[in-house]
Amino acid sequence: MKDSLRQRFERLALRQRELDAALADLKVAADIARWRNLARERAEIENALALYRRHQQREHDLAAAREMMSDEEMAQLAREEIAAAQADLDHLERDLQTALLPHDPDDARNAFVEIRAGTGGEESALFAAELARMYLRHAERRGWHTELMSENVSDLGGFKEVVLRVEGDGVYGELKFESGGHRVQRVPATESQGRIHTSACTVAVLPEPDAAEEVQINPTELRIDTFRASGAGGQHVNKTDSAIRITHLPTGIAAECQDDRSQHRNKAKAMAVLIARLRNKERSERQAKEAATRKSLVGSGDRSDRIRTYNFPQGRVTDHRINLTLYRLGCVLDGDLDEVIAALQSAQVAEQLAALEGST
């Protein structure tokens, strides 16, 4: 192990002791949000240090096995232990490097998934509905809770736009790779001559901010409109102006919610989406500056990026960021995204490790 890597773990051990003292402080315990963040950091450090202690133990085992080589009767056993210890150390060193990679603090958050029809008219709107179903089915497989925040239904029952809220452990960390342009190649239901068309949708996945960390918005910078909800919902939606649209005037960013019969609850939900979009704007601007010097392997996450193609004639799904092709289109659209997400996460880790090794 490189000395620089060993020193980083020694500094982590010092940081763990600092966190232990902070978490035992009654003043810190009184601030729930701060205490939760410190506890999360300590848990991450503890996991990394457990790997480091395992590495130290195997280094000790390797040294002991090498000393045994001088004993002819123990030489064969020693050779076997040396091989096993060296294999463990190689694997552990890779894990240790991964444990030191920077963690996105938003990964543990819930997320808003926004899907918008793009080029392709009604076919694009129908594909947007299929993408929404894909994410809902994936959430169901993962045991996550989902909630429809707003929808704009097309004439044939697709979605011009739909916003979902997904709640669960590590939701944003998994779904963030879905942000970008999704392209579909197939014969549309509206096509009478059997020709293959290409349509597209954009997906944006936004981390849900904690209430305690919401950005401060001047109420005078907001315009709040009420209107009658559209779509399915019975007679009630046609009688009351329960739907809410909130517009942030300085940026022009807007959010709406019409899912609930309560205007008050719709306003709270719309405000949560608006804040997430404002945070995402700040995040995107920050990432754009970073991407100017080094483009991420898995893409910038910009909605204009074409990240994936769903080819129906070939039953193929291709993720263009990592050149991954799967002939499991039906399974993927039914919500089985595990293989795709795992491949994208591995690619990101590999890129970060390459950057870490280049800096040490």
**359 pLDDT higher than 70:** no
Say what the pLDDT of residue 137 is.
97
Say what the pLDDT of residue 112 is.
92
Give the pairing of strands 306-311 and 180-186.
parallel
Q: Give the model confidence (pLDDT) of 85-121 as tens digits.
A: 999 998 888 888 778 777 777 888 899 999 999 888 8
What are the domain boundaries of the chain? Answer: 3-99, 109-292
pLDDT mean over 217-243: 69
Say what the pLDDT of residue 360 is.
53
Q: What are the residues whose beta carbons fall under 8 Å from the beta carbon of 221, sequence distance 6 or more? A: 248, 249, 250
**Rounded-to-integer distance, Cα 41 and Cα 23, Å:** 11
DSSP secondary structure string, 154-179?
Answer: -TTS-EEEEEEEEESTTHHHHHGGG-
Say whether domain 109-292 belongs to CATH 3.40.1160.10. no
pLDDT band at 358 (very low <50, low <70, confident <90, very high): low
Say what the pLDDT of residue 3 is.
79
* Torsion angle in degrees (nearest 10) through CA of 146, 275, 264, 223: -140
Q: Give the model confidence (pLDDT) of 18-64 as tens digits.
A: 999 999 999 988 988 788 888 888 988 998 899 999 999 999 999 99
pLDDT mean over 185-201: 83
Say what the pLDDT of residue 337 is.
96
Q: Which two tokens stand for residue 292?
A: 């100017």
Mean residue pLDDT of the chain comes to 84
Say what the pLDDT of residue 165 is.
93
Least confident range from 142-146, 167-171, 226-230, 310-314: namely 226-230
Count CB-CB contacts under 10 A for residue 79.
14
Its pTM stands at 0.69
